[in-house]
Amino acid sequence: MARKFRITLAQLDPTVGALKENAELAMKAWEEGRAAGADLVALPEMFITGYQTQDLVMKPAFHRAAMAEVEALARASADGPAMAIGGPHAEDGKLYNAYFILEGGQIKARVLKQKLPNETVFDEVRLFDPGPPQGPYSIGPLRIGTPICEDAWSPEVAETLAETGAEILLVPNGSPYYRNKLDERMNHMVARVVETGLPLVYLNLVGGQDDQVFDGASFALNPGGALALQMPAFDETITHLDFIETEEGWRAVQGTLAPQPDEWEQDYRCMVTALRDYLRKSGFSKVVLGLSGGIDSALVATIAVDALGAENVRTVMMPSEYTAESSLEDARAIAANLAARLDTLPITAGRAAVMETLAPLFQGLAADVTEENIQSRLRMVLLMALSNKFGEMLLTTGNKSELAVGYATIYGDMAGGYNPIKDLYKTRVFETCRWRNANHREWMKGPAGEVIPPRVIEKPPSAELRPDQKDEDSLPPYEILDGILKGLVDDEASVADLVAEGFDRVTVKRVEHLLYISEYKRFQSAPGTRLTKRSFGLDRRYPIVNRWRDSS
């Protein structure tokens, strides 16, 4: 009779720093695996600490406590299947990103990560020491090789494991989302399978951590690259995967292939997950936001309701003398469609009081952006008062286009605890609203249907801080602006590159200038959901004071 081996794959959502709670999640998965007759219960990279820890992992008291939890897990899981779990390991003055194999009440093996990523949001060279080349470990009849996350993105580690006797590859990951990343992961893992001739299991985290979301979508491949298992994206899932020994070696038994969402659904689910987990993991359950009747705040309100439920979302309209009646109507319609609370707090009297206070100093000076910004900052005074009084986290609603060029008021509409659309260019805001109106999923807590009125999507964007103001009075049309920003920010293109693509050089230089002088605003902006490899934050680290400009 052919030998069999069952791995329970725990695609779960740990919380950074919640060591005991993460250990409890691991034990629940282990118990489920034991009940299912598993030989091994596997959890993702750095699961015991949560991921990413950033500099927290370097604190000796923290990594010692994490290692103690792993040792306790080994003792607790002695009577049953082996457990594999990621966490830190300190030894001889060095600190490693490790994967622990627990069996029989002890730590049977430690795998130490060799390839430390030092790009985009990762800075593991700062945190960890690289591990040496290592061979496989044995669980029952099976010899397993474990390249940890980045180790599997280049061929050397997997090749060494295959050459030293590994019969399958188990790849634990903390791989955060960016648009269409699943395709990229799959391509790399297929390459490892083709090169080694071994089946491969790719096990990823799920859940939000600050700006990053881990999207799960774990999978298994058989030699040749055939997909044997595809787990859902973004959902916590425990799946049992069987292997059987054949004449050609161990092979994964065909499992369920969960359908994967397209990029529009992925982005939207990512924003919902990021907001939900940021609040849950930081101790909040309710939010408040300004609802202007414009498209950005409409989308943020919709994301908030889908993440938290309408009963946990307060929207606030704060009209001034420049607020159009149509904006008031649109705000009311959005709140009604979402079944969210809408409060109205006019700022006219507050603005008059501030201007009266400043009048002696402003006498004889023409009105300019100063007076416009006072309105925005007054609104934030009101919103922060509600946040403080009712314990509701304030959401800010600026899109990536506005943040890129500084078309936002620092300590005004930029103020807040989280920004779900921070990495969404304005042109994608429009399309995301259309997508949400046309699509509803069971994980959305908000209602189905056309929740964002079409006229909110179609009307010219305006900050409504002066009479008849339109965004295009101050900025190029968003189609042009976003094309230039994608070149400058996402693609690191030169001015000459963009001119060669057909953009006007004067416009490109103006956008470049705005991009650089707005760095100080972004430095103080709220965290927000990462959707691309060039989000503002850890992905793109620029100096605040910067006199260089591209002369190409």
Whole-number Å distance between alpha carbons of 244 and 33? 18
Instruction: Write down the catalytic residue from 69, 113, 270, 486.
Output: 113
521 as an active site residue: the answer is no
Strands of the sheet with 237-246, listed across from one edge: 106-112, 94-103, 82-91, 40-42, 4-11, 237-246, 249-252
Helix (H, G, I), strand (E, B) or coil at 126: helix
Whole-number Å distance between alpha carbons of 450 and 413? 26
113 as an active site residue: the answer is yes
Q: Are residues 41 and 81 in contact, defined by beta-carbon separation less than 8 angstroms?
A: yes
Q: Are residues 351 and 370 in contact, defined by beta-carbon separation less than 8 angstroms?
A: no
Whole-number Å distance between alpha carbons of 524 and 536? 11
Give the number of C-alpha atoms closer than 13 A to the C-alpha of residue 472, restricted to the C-beta side. 8
Helix (H, G, I), strand (E, B) or coil at 137: strand
Parallel/antiparallel/unpaired status of strands 212-215 and 206-209: antiparallel
Instruction: Write down the catalytic residue from 69, 115, 124, 149.
Output: 149
Query: CA triplet 200, 224, 247: central angle to 5 degrees?
Result: 80
Instruction: Write down the catalytic residue from 45, 150, 464, 512.
Output: 45
> Which pair of structure tokens corresponds to residue 58?
């370097």
Q: Are residues 87 and 67 in contact, defined by beta-carbon separation less than 8 angstroms?
A: yes
> Which pair of structure tokens corresponds to residue 95?
């600190």
Query: CA triplet 358, 363, 368: central angle to 5 degrees?
Result: 75
45 as an active site residue: the answer is yes
Closest CA to 204 of 222, 184, 185: 185
Rounded to 10 deg, the angle between the 478-485 and 426-438 helix axes is 110
Whole-number Å distance between alpha carbons of 507 and 485? 11
| Amino acid letter for position 529 | T
Closest CA to 93 of 63, 134, 48, 138: 63
Whole-number Å distance between alpha carbons of 8 and 23? 16
Catalytic residues, by residue number, are 45, 113, 149
